[in-house]
Amino acid sequence: MADIIRRFGWRHLRSAPTAHVRHHRRGKLVHDGPGLSFWYRALTAALCEIPVDDREESMAFHARTADFQDVTVQAAVTYRIGEPSTAASRLDFSIDPDTGVWRGAPLEQISTLLTETAQQHALDVLARTPLAAALTDGVAAVRERMSDGLAGEPRLAATGISVVAVRVVALRPEPEVERALRTPAREQIQQEADRATYERRAVAVERERAIAENELASKIELARREEQLVEQRGTNTRREAEETAAADGVRAAAEAARTVRLAKAEAEAAREVGDARAHAQAAWLRVHAEVDASTLHALTGSRLAENLPRIDSLTVSPDVLTGLLAKLGRPQGEQE
């Protein structure tokens, strides 16, 4: 909308660069172009403001396919008023000189024209297309037909309107039909998900089995190693016992040999000592045998006197005592 300022009965209009303004005064065109700024008198001015920027018209309408199924078409058409003077001559773009507001509804007329034209071409395509094909490839077909139809529409060209782009956003069936169509796909997706779940579980079970087998193999190997360890320990213990027994045998044999040698030496020494003692005793006996009894008695008495302080007791046998008494009772001549 143009920006209009009042000053002392005059009006000043300032338009945007995307708005084409046509100013007539007394039937003559005074100003014509986009983005103008000028003064004018409201009583003698006739103003038109035509937007020349790209505008987008969204539309949604119902259509029926070849198999009598209702679908909803959502589309958008981008257009531009390429010939403002032509559009101003065909549509009412006049504005109020005091407020700058359109007196009519030109953009609504353009919207109705575009929607009806696009709908006509879309219905023509969908009426010969089954629902399944329309949902699969209908968007491209409808867009192409709408673009060609709007580009070749003579009324748009006569109004100075050029179509920039056509977009078909979606083709949607009725909710019940859409749910019915979704059911097989959902079931297939669910089957794929179930299959993936089963495969994942199978893989998990297989991995668990492999892990269990590895653990069992590890335990078997560990048991075998332990068996080898026990066997080796037994062998080592047995070998150690054998070595100890052999060492003890050698030590016992050496000790026995040593004991035997000591015993033989002691026996030899004892025998030699006994022989010496026997020889000494025999010599002593020979000496005493050669000496008369009185001498022996005298020797005995002297030995007794020598050892008397150390003698605690003296035992005299009856034979010795009888002999002594007999000798003492004999006369002097007989004793000699």
Res 334 pLDDT > 60: no
Res 247 pLDDT > 90: no
Q: So what's the pLDDT on residue 299?
A: 67
Q: What CA–CA distance (Å, rounded) separates 176 from 163?
A: 36
* pLDDT tens sequence across 114-132: 999 999 999 999 999 898 8
Q: So what's the pLDDT on residue 324?
A: 60
Average pLDDT score, the chain: 85
Hey, what are 52's tokens?
């020349």
pLDDT grade for 323, boundaries at 50, 70 and 90:
low
pLDDT grade for 336, boundaries at 50, 70 and 90:
very low
User: If we measure between CA atoms, which residue out of 179, 201, 71, 190 comes closest to residue 125?
Assistant: 71
Crossing angle of helices 106-126 and 131-151, in 10° steps, is 140
Highest-pLDDT range among 35-49, 170-184, 185-199: 35-49
Q: So what's the pLDDT on residue 186?
A: 80
DSSP letters for 286-305: HHHHHS-HHHHHHHHHHHHH
- DSSP, collapsed to helix, strand or coil, labels residue 25 as strand
The beta-carbon contacts of 284-291 under 8 Å, at least 24 apart in sequence, are none
Contact predicate 49/2, CB 8 Å: yes
- Strand order of the β-sheet with 70-81 is 55-64, 70-81, 161-173
- Of the given ranges (264-268, 282-286, 289-293), which has the lowest mean pLDDT? 289-293
Res 45 pLDDT > 70: yes
Total Cβ atoms within 10 A of residue 113: 19
Q: What CA–CA distance (Å, rounded) separates 276 from 140?
A: 147
Q: For every residue of 33-88, which 3-state class applies, written as one string? A: EECCEEEEECCCEEEEEEECCCEEEEEEEEEECCCCCEEEEEEEEEEEECCHHHHH
Tokens 């097989």 belong to residue: 184
* pLDDT tens sequence across 83-115: 999 999 999 999 998 888 999 899 999 999 999
Q: What are phi and psi of 311, to 5 degrees?
A: -90, 120
> CA-CA distances (angstroms) from residue 279 to 9, 74, 271, 283, 312?
185, 154, 12, 6, 31
pTM of the model: 0.55
Q: What CA–CA distance (Å, rounded) separates 336 from 331?
A: 9
**For residues 223-251, average pLDDT:** 87
pLDDT grade for 256, boundaries at 50, 70 and 90:
confident
Res 326 pLDDT > 50: yes
* pLDDT tens sequence across 146-171: 999 999 899 999 999 999 999 999 88
Q: So what's the pLDDT on residue 185?
A: 76
